[in-house]
Structure formats: C-alpha cells, structure tokens
Structure 1
Amino acid sequence: MTRFPRRLTVFLFLTCVTGPFGSLLQAQVAADHVLQPGKFPLPNTGTYLAGELVIVDPVNRRGGLRLDGDGGERYHAGPLHYFAMLPYGMIWLNGAPAELRDVPIGTHVHGYFYVPPVGEESTIPPLPKDMEQFQLKHNHAVSLEDDFSFYQRRGQSWQVVSIDANKGKINVAPSGQMAKDGINTPYTFDIEDVTKVWKGRTLVDLADIAPEQVVQFNLGWSPGWRDKEFKVSEIWLDDDSRKFATDLQRRRHVKYQKQRWLPGWIDSVEDNDFGGGTVTLTLFGGMDPSLYAELKATQEKGFGVAVAEKSLRTWFHRSDKKIGQVIEWKEAENPPPGSSGIQVRLKFTELLDGYRPGRAVRVKCHDWLFVTMPSEERLKTIEEQKRSAVFSLP
C-alpha cells in the first residue's frame, strides 16, 4: 500500500552504535541485556548456549536445540530449547554465512542468546507446566555457528593426537588461539565409519586421519551426550578441504541473498509535504562482503526496498517494493553485533506504509535479477502473518 504526503525527506539511515563504550555504560549492562526495538545489542552481552540442532522452521528462522549435556536430568526428561533468530541474527556454516535451512539437522551449533526483545515475549511460547523447571529465558539468538565456523573464526583449530578406529575414538588437542567458549582443552570424541572425512575435494577413509594433522570438524550426537560426549560427524584434514567447503557454502549464501535481497531495518523516515520522502536504514551484518560491494558499486542506479517481517519474510517482494535513489552511503567501523555498519539514505517519490522506524526491510541491488519466491516463503494474508508471529512448538 502506498503512503502519501506528509513531509519532504525520509532518511533510510542505516544507524548503528559505533565506537568504544565508556566504562559507565559497560557497568550498566545487566546480566540479562534486554533488547530494545530498533537497537542492536551491546557487544559481549549475549548468553552462550550450545547444542544439537534438532528441529527447524527455516521459513521463520526458528528451531530447537538439544542442549549440551550437563550431567543433569534435562537430557532424559527435559524439552528442547526452542529459539528464534533475531532479525539481525547471523548464521555460519563451514566458515561462511548461511541460512538456518542450510544447517543439517543433527549439527552441533554454538550461539549467543538474549531474553526476548521488548514486544517479542510471546514469539516462543512458554513450556507446559510439567516442563517449567527446564525453561530457559534466553531464546532469541544473535548468532548461530557450527563447530567448523565457531572455532575457525576465533582462531582455534585442532591437532590430532591419536585415533583408534577399532575403538571408535579420536583424541585431539586445541591449537592456535583458544576460544573463550566451547571446548578449549584436549578432548576425546567418538568417531565412526560413517564419519565424513575430507581431504582436498575428496571423501577419504578413517585410515587417512593421522597424528599431528591440523583439522576442523563438526560434531553430532553420541550415546553419552548427557555427560558431554560427542561424535565427530564430519572432519576436514587440510586447508584445501576447508577452503572448498567454505567456498561452496559462500556461493550458496550469495545466490540466496541475491534472490531474496539483503536484510536491514529502517531507522528514520521523513515525509515530504507533497508525497514521497527520505528514508534512513541500516543493513544487517553477517553477509558476504561481495554483496555489500555490489550494492555500493551500483548505488547511483538506486535500490529496491521491500517491507519484511521480523522473520525477514516478505510478501510479494518483487512487486511490493519501491525504488529509492541513494543520497548518502556511510560505513562505520566496529559496528555492534548484528549490524554491518553501513548507513544509507534513500529518497523516494512514494513511500510504502511499512516504511516505519524499526521495521525490517529487504534491499535489492539494481543489477540482481528479479525472482519470484516459492509460495510458502511469502506472506499472503493477515491471518498467516499473525500465525507466523508465534513459534508452533511440536
């Protein structure tokens, strides 16, 4: 729906919190940092959780984790930990940006979570009465990464100490820069003849794993999960295999974003007196740098901007969009989690009703082809929009 005259300029001002935070501000960060509409989290405020990805709603970017065992009864008697990705929540797989639908069921993942943002308390329904003792309030994720990505992005790799294929055990020790969270001590994992072993671009056998090799791996479920036992489900033995896995996922990610457009949100809008206006928006972070570069290189041609939901779903985005002319492009250093640091001001001759501060949008580069998304990815009715606002627990 087109929105008509108010005032002259609407700024799509991709704002983000930048620069160092003072000690006073840091001291005010509570144990539970409550996210506010239209604001990114403060650095280092999320709660770390890890577990196996058991169920996903890839369209609405939600899922459920079997949390890492702690020796308690949650594993035997408790529920999954259900979560929603924040609009700016970032996902990585095999060292490259990803979507939740890219991550295979059964993958062990690491994430940083927050209590529900203001106004989003009902997105993840409460657990039944008989499960209340297992309720965890941190259920909105700013990041989710497989083991490969989590450790590699923090500078930690693993050195094989020994492997006993007959007993199904592999001993490894961390090397490089130690990750703050996750596993950062020598560890023994289960390994099986169904484990995928990569060398170069080829699958090889367990016999190709040898002491002193520097590896990355992904973990999965093991019968001893309750006591933090894991199985190596996939392992990469050399740089060539890791680079190949990363590049393949990167290409998948780039294709996906070009078809669905880059996500962001609107920071401010100023209406013109006689129609149109100027909008200021922020592009979310976690995308491949080439996508931002293509937008920047073609900014003189204008960007298409479609309204999206907090799940980043759109309606019929190739039609339900307006083209804005770029007035200003800014890049800030050290953006907060979830932000790309890119700020854009756009001038429109008409404004959509959804161009409002805090609303999510999808931004299209002029040179990207228009693609009609499958029906189940699009919102088609108000009733469907309401249903999609709440995660339907199994």
Structure 2
Amino acid sequence: MTNVAIAEDEPYRPEVGKFPPIDQALSYRGELVFVDHANRRGSLRIEGAGMFYRNDPHPFAMLPYGIVRYHGAPADLRDVPLGTVLHARAFLPPDPKISSVPVLPVNNRKKNAGYSGAGTAPAENHVLLLEDEPSYCQRVGKVWKLKELEIKNNQGMIVASRATKDGRDGDANEEAMTFDAATRIWRGRECLGIDDLIAEKVWPSEGKKAFDGQPVFLGITWKPTPGGVFTRFHISDIWLDDTAMQRAAQQQTETHKAFVRSRWMPAVVDAVEYGKFGRAKVSATLFGGMDESLYADFKKGSSAMMNAVENTLKHTHGAYGPSHMASKGSILDVIQTEDDIPLGSSGIQIQFETDLIIEGIRPGRVVRVCPGNWPRVNVPREEYLGSGSPEERFPTPDIFPKY
C-alpha cells in the first residue's frame, strides 16, 4: 500500500517569504540515500505502491525554514545516517527559478513509474518537516507495539503495529520488519545487543515469542531483503523505555545546539527601516525547531551580528567566515507573538539596529543572526559563497586542486 498522502487535488505552492500551512503539505515516507549537507538537500527512495528497491532516489531540498528532527530532537541533515527511513511533509518549490533540485510537473505524484508505481517522484520536493520514526511517533502521540518475534542466529523478524499508548487504535495495520545482530537495544542508560537479551532470557535464542503489545520506539531503516519481497523495512534501534528515548534526544539536542551556535540562527527579514549613512533597524523572525536555550540567548540590549545567507542557509557575505562582512549592532527588542505559530517559525521577532547594513539584508530575504555570547568561528569553505552568487552553490570539478 502506498504511504503517500495527497493534501489537495490542486497542489499548494508556498509564497516566498511566508511560512506555509502544514496541512497543505504532501506527506510521504522514504529511505535517505544521499545527502548534500552543505546545500541542505538530498535524495529519498520514496515508498510507493510497487517494488521499493526499484524506486529511483528522489531529490529533495529543505526549505530555508525547514525542520529536521532525529531521535526526537532538532537535527541537521548531516546528523541522519544514510538508510534511515524518514517522514516528509513537503511542498512545490516556492520559487522554481532558484530551486536547488529538479523542478517537476505539478502532477508528477500521479504518474506511474513502472514497477515502482505512482507517488515515488512527487513535484512537492521542498521539505518543511523531515523526521525519523521516533520523532514522528512522538509528534503524533504513538508508539510501536510489539506483537511477535521470530529469531534464529541473532536475526529474524518482528511483527509490530504503530498505535496510541492507550490502544484506542488497536486495529492499526501490523508490519513485519527484520532485525539482526547489529540492531541496538536501548534500555535506561544501557546499550544492549540481541545476544544480551538472549543471555537474560528476555528473548529466546531460537523460535517465536509473543509480546502482547509491549510499547517501544523503533528506529527504522531499509536493507536489501531476500525472497523477492517488494517492501520490508529493517529495525536499527529499539528503545525499550522513556528514559532511553529521552537520553537519545538529549544527546542529539546538544549536538544540534553546538552546530547552530557555530553557524548562527537563521531568520527571515520582515522589515527594514533605513537611516542615514548605512544605519538601519531590522525586524526579523527567527526560524523554528531549535532548542529553547538557543532562543533564550537573544536578549534585549545584547550585542549581535547579522549576515545575509542564500536559501540553502549558506553565508553569502565574507571571504573567510560569517563575521567578516556581517552587520554588527545590538538587539533593541525581542517580541514573542501570541498568535498561532506556523511550523518553521519560532514566533520570536527580534529588532536589530546596525550602523552599517549590508546589501543582502532586505525584506523577505533570509539571514543568520549571532548573539554576542556565541563563539566566533570560521565555517568550512563549502558552507559559504565567496562571490555571493547562487551559481556558486554547486561547485564544478574546478573546485578540486590542480596537482
């Protein structure tokens, strides 16, 4: 059965500079098979109605305000291992002229791709939300309930269904997934292997065991499957309790916090009030999906820097780091909206004043902002545009040295 959910008969295209409503997004699930982390894009092998292994990798790009979540925590694409099965909520490209992935006919999701079936190459390839299985389950309030296990030589099959903890949807579809000796079992603060559970007599060394709906969180990947099975996913991780899942989220959160502090917080410019001799007051809304402690660093009266970035969030001004050409100044105010906050937005607007505004800071444009207490570091060469031209996003072979 296809896992592609169609939002509308007529696809919705987001407006540039505005956060789109999540209920207009197309939903699909697929295996991460390629990542270009510097350009916030990659490819998914999307689950459709046909043979999964025949499905071509389908390119996607993260929207500037697009959110990645891994292990129930904020993440960057570089944090997610290849092979991970991810849930996507995606749209048509807001501006096809500057899309970093192929622009397809708007009805491409309905086209049949031979053995793959329909839905494996949707035109909605600009992602607002990309999340792994534990993140998805926590967001929708579900867990995996184990039904039965069959094991031999530390590998086998688990039958489980995704359902609410209270069992209200007990008729949820069951799914058979493989596991093997590389599958990690997380219990409290422990990381166990299949052989540990066998030694504890929690699992048998061979044969079947019924679980009667034991609730767990699962990490899901895909591996080639013998026997001509069209689609069968693989279990990479099993979190047996909330403590184990919370520890995984905490570790990922700390990884992402360090990453954002070194690359700066992304935001969209709402308005610019120009003064004399380069002075300006800038209103900008910080993007969402980050840990609360990062937003807490934006304080009224504190110093800050703001630099223009491209839609892939690459810095566009500065030859050796984001602070080279950034506009320096102070935060005049921090305003938290009380309205419904769309996904992608933090609902936090800062008002920033600088005495020398750079060209790229304009209404509707994306910027990155660094509070004064964050470290000033230089980003690697592939993460900024020396000339500021979008054409530089995707280097030619000339990027390599001449030996």
Pairing 1:329-344 to 2, within 5 Å after superposition:
329-333=334-338, 334-344=340-350
Task: State the 1:362 CA deviation.
Answer: 0.8
Query: CA deviation digits over 1:293-320, x for unaligned, max 9?
Result: 1223xx3123211111100111421222
Alignment partner of 1:265 is 2:253? no
Q: TM-score, normalised by structure 1?
A: 0.82
The 1:233/1:306 distance shift into structure 2, 3 A limit, reads same
Alignment partner of 1:370 is 2:382? no
Corresponding position of 2:74: 97
CA contact under 8 A between 1:326 and 1:345: conserved in structure 2?
yes
In structure 2, distance between residues paired with 1:198 and 1:157: 15
In structure 2, distance between residues paired with 1:159 and 1:355: 50
2:174 to 172, 179, 186: 186
Alignment partner of 1:125 is 2:102? yes
List runs of 5+ in structure 1 lacking aligned partners.
Answer: 1-28
Displaced runs of 4 or more, over 3 A: 119-122, 132-135, 222-228, 389-392
Corresponding position of 2:160: 172
Letter in 1 for 2:287: F
1:235 to 215, 234, 238: 238
CA contact under 8 A between 2:90 and 2:125: conserved in structure 1?
yes
Match of 1:243, SS?
A: helix
Query: CA deviation digits over 1:327-368, x for unaligned, max 9?
Result: 332112421121111112222211111111121111111111
Alignment partner of 1:107 is 2:107? no
Alignment partner of 1:152 is 2:138? yes
Corresponding position of 2:305: 304
Query: CA deviation digits over 1:8-48, x for unaligned, max 9?
Result: xxxxxxxxxxxxxxxxxxxxx87311111111102311100
Corresponding position of 1:64: 43
CA contact under 8 A between 2:35 and 2:77: conserved in structure 1?
yes
Corresponding position of 2:325: 320
Letter in 2 for 1:147: E
1:52 to 16, 20, 31: 31
Match of 2:378, SS?
A: coil
In structure 2, distance between residues paired with 1:184 and 1:253: 34
Task: State the 1:153 CA deviation.
Answer: 1.9
The 1:324/1:185 distance shift into structure 2, 3 A limit, reads farther
Q: Which moved more, 1:145-154 or 1:98-107?
A: 145-154
Identity %: 34
Task: State the 1:136 CA deviation.
Answer: 2.2
Task: State the 1:49 CA deviation.
Answer: 1.2
The 1:191/1:141 distance shift into structure 2, 3 A limit, reads same
1:142 to 121, 125, 128: 128
2:61 to 71, 81, 84: 84
Alignment partner of 1:280 is 2:283? yes
Letter in 1 for 2:274: D
Match of 1:291, SS?
A: helix
In structure 2, distance between residues paired with 1:347 and 1:196: 50
In structure 1, distance between residues paired with 2:16 and 2:395: 18
In structure 2, distance between residues paired with 1:110 and 1:278: 39
Query: CA deviation digits over 1:155-192, x for unaligned, max 9?
Result: 111222221122711122334269xxxx9533221111
The 1:390/1:82 distance shift into structure 2, 3 A limit, reads farther
Match of 1:88, SS?
A: strand
Letter in 2 for 1:33: Y
Letter in 1 for 2:278: G
Match of 1:370, SS?
A: coil
Match of 2:176, SS?
A: strand
1:203 to 183, 191, 195: 191
Match of 2:297, SS?
A: helix
Letter in 1 for 2:384: R
Letter in 2 for 1:149: S
- Greater RCO (CA < 8 Å, at least 6 residues apart): 1
In structure 2, distance between residues paired with 1:376 and 1:122: 18
CA contact under 8 A between 2:181 and 2:194: conserved in structure 1?
yes
Letter in 1 for 2:20: P
Task: State the 1:375 CA deviation.
Answer: 1.8
Match of 2:361, SS?
A: coil
Letter in 1 for 2:31: E
CA RMSD of aligned residues (A): 2.7
CA contact under 8 A between 1:70 and 1:227: conserved in structure 2?
no
Pairing 1:345-356 to 2, within 5 Å after superposition:
345-356=351-362
In structure 1, distance between residues paired with 2:357 and 2:11: 37
Query: CA deviation digits over 1:124-179, x for unaligned, max 9?
Result: 1258xxxx96542111000100101111122111222221122711122334269x
Match of 2:364, SS?
A: coil
Query: CA deviation digits over 1:59-105, x for unaligned, max 9?
Result: 00000001114225x742x4211010000000000010000000001
- What number of residue pairs does the alignment pair up? 352
The 1:102/1:157 distance shift into structure 2, 3 A limit, reads same
CA contact under 8 A between 1:62 and 1:391: conserved in structure 2?
no
Q: TM-score, normalised by structure 2?
A: 0.80
